[in-house]
C-alpha cells in the first residue's frame, strides 16, 4: 500500500500506529469525500460493532467495547503465526475479546474430557463384576495436549494441556455368571487446563492474545447395563463447577466461575469376526448446558450467554483377546468421528456489543488401548489417541488415560 501517490509524508508507512485518546484522521488533500479507493488502508472503528470508511473514531472511548479506538497501518506480524486479513476496513478488536471468547469453549472441552467414554472410565465389559451394595471401586487419571480453533467474530483458539483424575464406586451391582448385569454408581473428579489463547485482535488473525487457566470439579452418577454377548448401554449425568482466569497479553483479564450439566448416553455391540477377534461399533450422544457467571474487567462488563449444545460420536473398536496364564489381555484399535453440533456462544461487552463464536466442529480420532484382567476382581485399562479436524476448523489433540477397577 506504500508509497501512496500524492502523499509527501511517508514516515509511518508500513508501521503500526497506536493513537490513544480522542484522535481524528483528516484528509490532507482537502477532499470531503472518503477515500474508498486507492490510498493507505486505514482501519476505522466508529461504534462497537460497526465501522465506516470516513472516520477513525467518533470521539467516544471504545474501551468498554470489544474493539480498540486506534487507527492502524499494518506492521510485520507481531507474534509467530499471525496473518493480516484482506479487507479495506477491518474491525479492531481488543486482545481481551478472543481471550474471553475462548472461556466457554474451553469449559466445554474440559467437561468432555472429564466425561470420557465408558471404556476410558470403566475398562472392558468383562471387568464389570461385583454384586451387592458398594460392590466395586474404580479410578483413572487422564491428560490431553490440545490445539483447537473455532470460528466466529474473533476466531478464538486454545493451545495447551489438560489433566485430571476421577474416583468412582459402584453403589449397587448385580452380575450373572454370563457377564450380564447392571451397575449403578457415583463418581467425582478434578480437572484442569492451561494454555495460550490466539484469535483475531488488533487487526491480525491468529494473534497470540493471552493465557487461560481453568479448573473444574465434577460429580456424577451412572448406570451401566451389560447384555448377552457383551453389548452395553452406559448412561451418565454429571455436574461441573469451574473456576479460573483469562488474562490478556497486556495484563487485562477476568476471573471465571460457572457450572455446567452434562448428560451422556452410549452404547456398543460386539460382533465376533473370528476366534479372538471382535469388532464393536459404538455410538454416543452428549448434551451439555453451560452457565458461566457474568463478570467484568478493567473496562467493561463481560456477560456470557447460557448455551445448550449436543456432541455426538460414532465409531468402533477392533478388539483381540489373549491369555497369559490367568491374565486376560484385550488390546484394541479404535476410530471415532466426533461432532459438535451447531451451537454458538455469545459474550456481551458493556451490555450491548456481542462477540459470537460458533461451536460446530467435526474431528476424527484414531487410537488404541489395552485392557488387562488379572482375575475376576482386579483389572487395569489404558487408552491413547490422536484427533484432528475433519472440517475447515483446526484441531490437533493427543490424549490418554490409565485406570483401574477392583470389585468384590
- Residue range 46-100, pLDDT digits in tens: 333 333 333 344 433 445 667 665 544 455 566 777 776 765 567 889 999 999 9
Which residues belong to CATH 2.40.128.130 in the chain?
100-407
Q: What's the confidence (pLDDT) of residue 218?
A: 98
Tell me how far apart the alpha carbons of residues 53 and 320 are, in angstroms, rounded to a whole number: 65
Contact 305, 293 (CB under 8 A): no
* Average confidence (pLDDT) over 142-152: 95
Instruction: Please name the helix (run of DSSP H) or strand (run of DSSP E) that holds residue 159, with its range, or none.
Output: strand 157-175
- pTM for the complete prediction? 0.80
Tell me how far apart the alpha carbons of residues 208 and 57 are, in angstroms, rounded to a whole number: 25
Name the grid cell of 102: 475462548
- Name the phi and psi angles at 111, rounded to 5: -65, -40
CATH 2.60.210.10 is the classification of domain 100-407: no
Q: What's the confidence (pLDDT) of residue 384?
A: 97
Closest to 278 in 3D by CA, of 329, 316, 318? 318
Tell me how far apart the alpha carbons of residues 405 and 140 are, in angstroms, rounded to a whole number: 9
Could you report the per-residue pLDDT of 117-143, keeping only the tens digit for each?
A: 999 999 999 888 878 888 899 999 999
Most distant CA pair in the chain, distance: 92
Could you report the per-residue pLDDT of 178-218, keeping only the tens digit for each?
A: 668 999 999 999 999 999 999 999 989 999 999 999 999 99
Q: What's the confidence (pLDDT) of residue 14?
A: 47
Instruction: Identify which has the larger pLDDT, 264 or 63.
Output: 264
Could you report the per-residue pLDDT of 302-333, keeping only the tens digit for each?
A: 999 999 999 999 999 999 999 999 999 999 99
| pLDDT over threshold 50, residue 22 | no
* Average confidence (pLDDT) over 383-404: 93
Q: What's the confidence (pLDDT) of residue 295?
A: 95
Length of the chain: 408
Lowest average pLDDT, out of 14-28, 92-106, 290-304, goes to 14-28
**DSSP state, 67?**
B
Give start and end residues of each alpha helix (H) in 47-170: 96-115, 118-122
Q: How far is CA 47 from the centre of its chain?
A: 30
* Average confidence (pLDDT) over 207-235: 96
Instruction: Identify which has the larger pLDDT, 91 or 356.
Output: 356
Q: What is the mean pLDDT of the chain?
A: 84
Amino acid at each position: 500500500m506504500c508509497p501512496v501517490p500524492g502523499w509527501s509524508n511517508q514516515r509511518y508507512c508500513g508501521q503500526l500506529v497506536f493513537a490513544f485518546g480522542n484522535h481524528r484522521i483528516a484528509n490532507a488533500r482537502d477532499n470531503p469525500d472518503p477515500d474508498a479507493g486507492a490510498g493507505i488502508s486505514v482501519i476505522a472503528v466508529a461504534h462497537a460493532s460497526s465501522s465506516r470508511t470516513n472516520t477513525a473514531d467518533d470521539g467516544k472511548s471504545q474501551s468498554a467495547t470489544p474493539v480498540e479506538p486506534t487507527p492502524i497501518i499494518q506492521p510485520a506480524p507481531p507474534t509467530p503465526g499471525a496473518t493480516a486479513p484482506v479487507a479495506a476496513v477491518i474491525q479492531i478488536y481488543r486482545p481481551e475479546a478472543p481471550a474471553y471468547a475462548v472461556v466457554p469453549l474451553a469449559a466445554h472441552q474440559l467437561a468432555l474430557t472429564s466425561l470420557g467414554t465408558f471404556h476410558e472410565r470403566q475398562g472392558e465389559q468383562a471387568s464389570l463384576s461385583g454384586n451387592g451394595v458398594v460392590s466395586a471401586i474404580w479410578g483413572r487419571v487422564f491428560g490431553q495436549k490440545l490445539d483447537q480453533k473455532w470460528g466466529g467474530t474473533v476466531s478464538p483458539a486454545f493451545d495447551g494441556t489438560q489433566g485430571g483424575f476421577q474416583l468412582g464406586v459402584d453403589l449397587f451391582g448385580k452380575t450373572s455368571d454370563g457377564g450380564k448385569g447392571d451397575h449403578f454408581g457415583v463418581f467425582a473428579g478434578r480437572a484442569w487446563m492451561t494454555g495460550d489463547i490466539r484469535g483475531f485482535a488488533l487487526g491480525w488473525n491468529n494473534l497470540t492474545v493471552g493465557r487461560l487457566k481453568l479448573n473444574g470439579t465434577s460429580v456424577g452418577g451412572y448406570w451401566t447395563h451389560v447384555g448377552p454377548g457383551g453389548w452395553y448401554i452406559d448412561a451418565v449425568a454429571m455436574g461441573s463447577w469451574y473456576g479460573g482466569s483469562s488474562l490478556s497479553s497486556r495484563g487485562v483479564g477476568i476471573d471465571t466461575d460457572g457450572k455446567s450439566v452434562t448428560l451422556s448416553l452410549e452404547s456398543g455391540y460386539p460382533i465376533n469376526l473370528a476366534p479372538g477377534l471382535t469388532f464393536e461399533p459404538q455410538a454416543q450422544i452428549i448434551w451439555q448446558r453451560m452457565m458461566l457467571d457474568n463478570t467484568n474487567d478493567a473496562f467493561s462488563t463481560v456477560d456470557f450467554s447460557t448455551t445448550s449444545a449436543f456432541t455426538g460420536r460414532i465409531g468402533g473398536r477392533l478388539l483381540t483377546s489373549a491369555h497369559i496364564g490367568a491374565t486376560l489381555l484385550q488390546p484394541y484399535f479404535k476410530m471415532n468421528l466426533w461432532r459438535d453440533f451447531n451451537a454458538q456462544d455469545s459474550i456481551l461487552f458493556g451490555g450491548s456489543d456481542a462477540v459470537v463464536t460458533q461451536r460446530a466442529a467435526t474431528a476424527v480420532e484414531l487410537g488404541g488401548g489395552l485392557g488387562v484382567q488379572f482375575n475376576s476382581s482386579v483389572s487395569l485399562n489404558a487408552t491413547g489417541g490422536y484427533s484432528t479436524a475433519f472440517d475447515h476448523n483446526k484441531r490437533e489433540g493427543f490424549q490418554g488415560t490409565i485406570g483401574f477397577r477392583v470389585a468384590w
